Structure 1
Amino acid sequence: MATMSDVAKAAGVSRATASYALRGDPRIAPETAERVRRAASDLHYTTNLSARSLRSGRSGVIGVAIFELDKPYPSEMSAAVSREAARHDLETIVQQTSNSKEREISILRKVTSQLCDATIFSPGNISPEEITALYGGKPLILLDDISDEPLFDCVFTPCEDGAAAAIRHLIDIGCEHIGVLGVDYNALVDDRQSTTVSGRRLAGALRAFDEAGIDVDERNFIPVDHWGTPGAREAARELADTAGGLPFDGMFCMTDSLALGAIRGFADAGVHVPDDVAIVGFDGINEGEYSVPSLTTVSTDLNDLAAKAVGLLLDRLDEDARNLPQEERAGVRRLTADYRLIQRESTRR
């Protein structure tokens, strides 16, 4: 079986150059890359790429690196991206970043740069500068990029407008004392938090309160570690035990998982949703439709998010295929997915 060294020798290049060429690295001159691919094909070197990809320089595979795939929303998002990719005859390799910087680095270095034509990536612990050094020059689309000076195309979830819609809905159904579960009121004091998902949802909630002329302070906001269902359940129990009674008649939860945990915690304490407290979640996960009560939610349009992310990716792949010089390529683009508020039993009074 031919090795990478055999391919390099046949093409008259170094082993490193041969490796980069077979991965489609744009830093390799087109004529050199073609010579390497021809040598690999002649030697039947197909360990990492199919014969088709050796001819075209493409594998037909995109990477999808998402946090916490064991939770409903990231899993449903990945499925939507995979469906959209399949519509364009692309396969997907889905990886879990696990909120670990080392894991994110490993995925970029070992998987996406070597096996994939392009990547849709949800960064959590790695800086744009580190991404630039690791991603191998292939198209990279970020999800919810938190950087102040964007280097890559990005698709955002509709955090600010969606959170504002949730607060307005609670006001519209008559709630006068509204709590927000899952974020610290003082989070925006740290500029680095302002572009995070939680920071943008907090900003949207504060905007809606301000527009409605409702004064809020830190007592209206209840942080929950890791946005986990168990933490939300415990927080709801504690709120139900507040001296003088439950302080809220409406609650916006930063995610549907938090909302479902809160509903369970209130039920444990004998508090009824929506009669005693109305609850709105955010994300639109499938479980919310079947909970008791069913969950009112700000539902991110995952099909729209996937279409926008894959569309950006295809545009960048097309620019690479045409070898456009940098000055003729589109600038960094930032899109936001659509959303809709779905009213169900948890706010139906």
Structure 2
Amino acid sequence: MQQAPDVITLQHVADRAGVSRATASLALSGKGRIAPATRQRVKDAADDLDYVVNVMARNLRGSRSGAIGLYVPDHTLSFRYYMDVAFGAVEEAQASDLLVTLMPTAFAPRSGITEHLDGFIMIDPIDGDPIVERLLSGRSPVVSGEDAPADAEEPYGVVYGDHRRGIRLLLDHLWANGCRRPACLLPDRSIAWGRGMQDGYREWCAEKGIAEHMLVGDFQSTTEQVRGLLDGLLGALDGVDGIIAAPEGTALIALDAIRSAGLEIGHDLLLASYVDSDSLALVEPSITALDLHAREFGRQCMQLLADSLDGGSRRGERVEVAISVIERRSTRRIP
């Protein structure tokens, strides 16, 4: 019986499967026009031999590092949504044998700290961010999670949620439950989903023939600043009978403000969050929210970027990730 070699190479797999080395490589990478039976034969041979792809050698041949950068502005890192996006990207990266580096946000715009990375994913790029501008003007491919600033270079591709539609989903849900004058605490227009939400809210109010009650904050607003906006709204309620709060976490501040004002959710007004989190299902009453499918969002970003590194057949593609309502008690009227 022939003794198995100490180191299993791609050539051993090819010989076992009775194909060329090139065919074996394509079959194991999932590329090329190869008959399903041949692809399966190669995979079976690799399994029989316990073959492990030499990722380092493959990257050296392609002049790649095998690592990509994920850029998320540091003021968002405490939010569950962004961590779920990152986990989705990491899970998808495993299929392409890519490592994901969470990029530091405080490095100087001219720093060479990211020069070794093969490409980048940036999530919720903010207008005027010098790091966003540097990434988009560089030589490496960039995928943007939500639309990039209008005056920046075009990214390789965009993954996005339809936030104009998303805010309308929540507004329609509140309307169906008797809310006739909803107020919204929304992000400013420096990010794409802030623009989409504001536009969607204004359009919806115009269609219903009702007055707008829009409070605008940003990710860097403190808890005290958000609470001050909400206290002012509730102090001059002026018929407002519902609140939609964004970004993540502000619905809990709204819940406390409502209680402090002596108002009852389900009787005096309804409450919803634009972004879901674990805590919203656990508070009393539980708070209705949107599911932005964050992990799928991250996976789609990584799929686009992996395509760009493999030759780029999807340049300019826009991939929409669904948004859906998670109904909970905070938007149910008390009989």
TM-score, length of structure 2 as denominator length: 0.71
Q: Structure 2 CA distance, aligned partners of 1:318 and 1:177?
A: 51
Are residue 120 (structure 1) and residue 121 (structure 2) matched?
yes
* Bigger share in helix: 1
Q: Structure 2 CA distance, aligned partners of 1:143 and 1:119?
A: 11
Cα deviation, residue 53, structure 1: 3.5
Across the two proteins, how many residue pairs are aligned to each other? 271
Q: Structure 2 CA distance, aligned partners of 1:240 and 1:195?
A: 27
Alignment identity in percent?
Answer: 22
| C-alpha RMSD of matched pairs (Å) | 2.7
Q: Structure 1 CA distance, aligned partners of 2:112 and 2:86?
A: 20
Q: Which has the higher contact order (CA 8 A, sep 6+)?
A: 2
- Structure 1 window deviating more from structure 2 (123-132 vs 262-271): it is 123-132
Map Cα deviations across residues 245-294 of structure 1 (whole Å, 9 max, x no partner): 56411112232322121112212222222322111111222222222222
Map Cα deviations across residues 118-174 of structure 1 (whole Å, 9 max, x no partner): 2111332138754344x3x22211122243366111112331110111111111111
* Counterpart for residue 223 of structure 1: 216
* Counterpart for residue 18 of structure 1: none
Structure 2 regions of 5+ residues with no counterpart?
1-54
Q: Structure 1 CA distance, aligned partners of 2:131 and 2:107?
A: 13
Are residue 264 (structure 1) and residue 274 (structure 2) matched?
no
* Counterpart for residue 163 of structure 2: 159
Are residue 169 (structure 1) and residue 173 (structure 2) matched?
yes
- Structure 1 window deviating more from structure 2 (330-339 vs 304-313): it is 330-339
Structure 1 regions of 5+ residues with no counterpart?
1-48, 188-192, 321-328
Q: Structure 1 CA distance, aligned partners of 2:177 and 2:233?
A: 21
Q: Structure 1 CA distance, aligned partners of 2:185 and 2:270?
A: 13
* Counterpart for residue 209 of structure 1: 205
Cα deviation, residue 50, structure 1: 5.3
Instruction: Check 1:194–1:50 CA distance in 2 against 1; reply closer, same or farther (3 A cut).
Output: closer
Q: Structure 2 CA distance, aligned partners of 1:344 and 1:335?
A: 29
Q: Structure 2 CA distance, aligned partners of 1:146 and 1:132?
A: 9
Instruction: Check 1:303–1:127 CA distance in 2 against 1; reply closer, same or farther (3 A cut).
Output: closer
Secondary structure in 2 matching 1:113: coil
Cα deviation, residue 195, structure 1: 6.5
Cα deviation, residue 317, structure 1: 0.8
* Counterpart for residue 35 of structure 2: none
Q: Which amino acid aligns with 2:322?
A: D
Instruction: Check 1:308–1:169 CA distance in 2 against 1; reply closer, same or farther (3 A cut).
Output: same
Q: Structure 2 CA distance, aligned partners of 1:105 and 1:283?
A: 31
Cα deviation, residue 301, structure 1: 1.0
Partners of 2:163 and 2:196 within 8 A in 1: yes
Cα deviation, residue 306, structure 1: 1.7
Are residue 74 (structure 1) and residue 82 (structure 2) matched?
yes
Cα deviation, residue 194, structure 1: 8.2
Q: Which amino acid aligns with 1:237?
A: D
* Counterpart for residue 325 of structure 1: none
Instruction: Check 1:273–1:112 CA distance in 2 against 1; reply closer, same or farther (3 A cut).
Output: farther
Q: Which amino acid aligns with 2:206?
A: D
* Counterpart for residue 333 of structure 1: 317
Match of 1:232 among 215, 226, 229: 226
Match of 1:292 among 284, 289, 295: 284
Cα deviation, residue 104, structure 1: 7.4
* Counterpart for residue 59 of structure 1: 65
TM-score, length of structure 1 as denominator length: 0.69
Q: Please list, as runs of the form range in 1=range in 2, the aligned pairs for 1:26-45 lying within 5 A after superposition.
A: none
Q: Which amino acid aligns with 1:210?
A: A
Partners of 2:120 and 2:135 within 8 A in 1: no
Q: Please list, as runs of the form range in 1=range in 2, the aligned pairs for 1:62-141 lying within 5 A after superposition.
A: 62-67=68-73, 68-97=76-105, 103=107, 105=109, 109-114=111-116, 116-122=117-123, 123-124=125-126, 125-126=129-130, 130-133=134-137, 135=138, 137-141=139-143
Q: Which amino acid aligns with 1:161?
A: R
Instruction: Check 1:113–1:196 CA distance in 2 against 1; reply closer, same or farther (3 A cut).
Output: same
Cα deviation, residue 334, structure 1: 2.1
Q: Structure 1 CA distance, aligned partners of 2:205 and 2:72?
A: 32
Q: Which amino acid aligns with 1:317?
A: L
Partners of 1:231 and 1:261 within 8 A in 2: no
Q: Structure 2 CA distance, aligned partners of 1:121 and 1:93?
A: 12
Q: Which amino acid aligns with 1:71?
A: F
Map Cα deviations across residues 60-102 of structure 1 (whole Å, 9 max, x no partner): 22211102212332222222222222343322111353xxxx6
Cα deviation, residue 229, structure 1: 4.1
Partners of 1:60 and 1:91 within 8 A in 2: yes
Secondary structure in 2 matching 1:179: strand
Q: Which amino acid aligns with 1:198?
A: G
* Counterpart for residue 281 of structure 1: 273
